[in-house]
Amino acid sequence: MKPEIHLLGISIKTFGVMFALGFLACGGLVARRLRELGKPVDWAYEIVFAALIGGVVGARGYYVIQNYSQVKHDLLGSIFSGSGLVWYGGAIGGAIGVLAWMRWRDVLELSMLDMCATALALGYAIGRIGCQVSGDGDYGIRSSLPWAMGYSHGTVPTAPGVTVQPTPIYETVAMCLVTYLLWRLRDRVRPGGVFASYLVLSGLERFLVEFVRRNNEVLAGLTAPQLESIALLAIGLAWLALMARGSGLTGGRANVSTSRPTIA
């Protein structure tokens, strides 16, 4: 684990590095897709900025709400603290930021939502690398599996000699596969199909990994992220079902420039 690195006397948080790299990677993917859709590539900067602002505010706000009993005595300090970010809060805040940008640009279209869904999956995969490297407490329950590992030097360390499930690695691998699948589907399903598939796949991934993570159960033996994942799954499945009952899932491609390069 390497929570921070020191360069020229400056301490740099490794999670912050991966956080930044995640947004850069998402910006590259969005720019590529915007070019394919025949839209201004410069919009990628605006989308990433909107997602960044909304995501940070949402992730921090969600953390404060979720842990209000612990932070209420120093609420202002907690709001502006550099620690404590919750993925679902960031996803909600980022979505609101991007939707507001789309409304402003008058491009609130299903094809744009599909593009952002793929970027979300990629950003999540890279973000979990930051969780793994920094050992920020997102690891799993105690385990003796051959690939179990300790995080004794992490930001939230495990006890010496204790090994746990390396759930950030599981999530990075799973969401990289989801990203690849969504990217391949981008011109093979009707607009909205990629976004609905993202809701299903990301919800399923988080629901399953929670069984070996350390979050507390809140209802019917399930954790809060599992309940949120069930909601995503339900919305995504309902969306796909409506598409299938209507004009079908395939066909009706987005307006893609015929000059775009082929991507495997």
pLDDT of residue 211: 95
257 pLDDT exceeds 60? no
Provide the 3-class DSSP secondary structure of residue 180: helix
Q: Is there a domain that residue 102 lies in? A: no
pLDDT of residue 61: 75
81 pLDDT exceeds 60? no
pLDDT of residue 263: 36
Who's near 201: CB < 8 A, 6+ residues apart? 121, 178, 181, 182, 236
pLDDT of residue 76: 52
- Percentage of the residues of the chain whose pLDDT score is greater than 70: 85
* Residue 210: domain span: 4-39+107-245
Kindly state the average pLDDT of the residues 5-23.
84
Identify which has the larger pLDDT, 14 or 144.
144
For the beta carbon of residue 49, count every other beta carbon within 10 angstroms.
15
Q: Is there a domain that residue 98 lies in? A: no
Measured in whole angstroms, the distance separating CA 238 from the mean position of its chain's CA atoms is 21
Q: Is there a domain that residue 60 lies in? A: no
Q: The pTM is what?
A: 0.85
Identify which has the larger pLDDT, 70 or 205.
205
Model confidence pLDDT, tens digit, residues 172-222: 999 999 999 999 999 999 999 999 999 999 999 999 999 999 888 888 899
Q: Is there a domain that residue 141 lies in? A: yes
Model confidence pLDDT, tens digit, residues 46-66: 999 998 888 888 877 776 776
pLDDT of residue 87: 64
- With tokens 């093979």, the residue in question is 188
> Is-contact 197 182, C-beta < 8 A?
yes
pLDDT of residue 252: 54
Q: Is there a domain that residue 239 lies in? A: yes
165 pLDDT exceeds 60? yes
Q: Is there a domain that residue 264 lies in? A: no
- 212 residue type, one letter: V
Structure tokens at 4: 């921070």
pLDDT of residue 233: 96
Q: Is there a domain that residue 255 lies in? A: no
Dihedral angle of Cα 193, 244, 230, 71, to the nearest 10 degrees: 40
Beta-bridge mates of residue 140: 213
pLDDT of residue 71: 59
pLDDT of residue 189: 93
pLDDT of residue 54: 87
pLDDT of residue 136: 84
> Is-contact 129 138, C-beta < 8 A?
no
- The chain-wide mean pLDDT, for the chain, equals 86
Q: Where does the pLDDT of residue 240 fall: very low under 50, low under 70, confident under 90, or very high at 90 and above? A: very high
Q: Where does the pLDDT of residue 85 fall: very low under 50, low under 70, confident under 90, or very high at 90 and above? A: low
Q: Is there a domain that residue 49 lies in? A: no
Kindly state the average pLDDT of the residues 77-105.
74
- Domain count for the chain, please give it: 1
